[in-house]
Amino acid sequence: MYKAQTPELEDYVRHTLQDLKTLTRGLAASEHMLSHAIAEWKADIGQRLAAAQMTLVWSFTMDDDLPLTVTQWSGLTRILRELVSNAIYHAKATRVHIDGNVQGGRLLLWIADDGEGREPAKWSHGLGLGGVRKRVRALGGAVRWRENSPRGIICEVQINHLDQTPSPSPTPGPLPSRFGEPATRW
């Protein structure tokens, strides 16, 4: 087995291998039921946050258990993993709150942390945030980041037609009114 030079590198390699394992297993199936994907995401995120000594608050509601295509499952899995990674490694958060809702085929996700993040408009968008934007767009959705109060960041993701085969959305529509609520998640 590979012996990392630092604990940080060891942790990075472990999570990279877990990502590969999760995606390989997921890509082997032709479709995933949303309820199964939600349970898998919660377990995976819970384990990652517990290892980082962080708290997960999870809430997910849906009006129908939809089948996800491999593209949808893979995209959503990778979006969630990247956003949680940002909370762990960049925000230095102690708590992550994930709230999801699927109604009428539309998925709304709110991923909030209590970390050090501020002023998302001034962030440099590297591979992580760029990957999130690209995956959300490929699923026909929209994404935005804003400050959480009293501290941290909220990422808001909307996928409009989870009940249909995804097609890239070059110009996503406006985010729903709930996205304009005051940024208080605790």
- pLDDT on residue 184: 38
| Number of domains present in the structure of the chain | 1
pLDDT of residue 177: 44
Which domain CATH number covers 127? 3.30.565.10
**Residue 36 placed within a domain:** yes
**Over residues 118-139, mean pLDDT:** 78
Q: Is the pLDDT of residue 16 over 90?
A: no
φ and ψ at residue 42, rounded to 5 degrees = -60, -45
Token pair recorded at residue 156: 């808001």
What is the per-residue pLDDT across 159-176, written as a single tens digit (0 to 9) for each? 998 887 555 544 445 554
The answer to whether position 181 is within a domain reads: no
Examine residue 182 and state whether it is found in any structural domain, yes or no: no
143 or 90, which is more confident: 143
- Residue 88, domain member (yes or no): yes
Q: Both tokens of residue 14? A: 């472990």
Q: What is the DSSP letter of 148?
A: -
Residue with tokens 């604990």: 7
d(CA 30, CA 103): 23
CA angle 18, 98, 185 (to 5 degrees): 145
* DSSP letter for each residue of 70-83: HHHHHHHHHHHHHH
Checking 88-95 for CB contacts under 8 A at 24+ apart, the result is: 88/48, 88/49, 88/52, 88/54, 90/115, 90/117, 91/115, 91/116, 91/117, 91/152, 91/153, 92/116, 93/54, 93/152, 94/53, 94/54, 94/55, 95/54, 95/55, 95/56, 95/57, 95/186
Q: What are the distances in angstroms from CA 170 to CA 90, 135, 139?
A: 29, 12, 11
Confirm whether 186 is domain-assigned: no
* SS3 (DSSP) at 97: strand
Q: Which domain holds residue 14?
A: 7-172
Q: Is residue 177 part of a domain?
A: no
Q: How much is the mean pLDDT over the chain? A: 81
Selected residue with higher pLDDT from 19 and 33: 33
pTM, full prediction: 0.77
| Helix, strand or coil, per DSSP, at residue 32 | strand
Residue 185 within any structural domain of the chain? no
Flag whether 180 is in a domain: no
pLDDT digits (tens, 9 = 90+) for 70-119: 999 999 999 999 999 989 988 889 999 999 999 999 999 999 999 987 77
Helix (H, G, I), strand (E, B) or coil at 9: helix
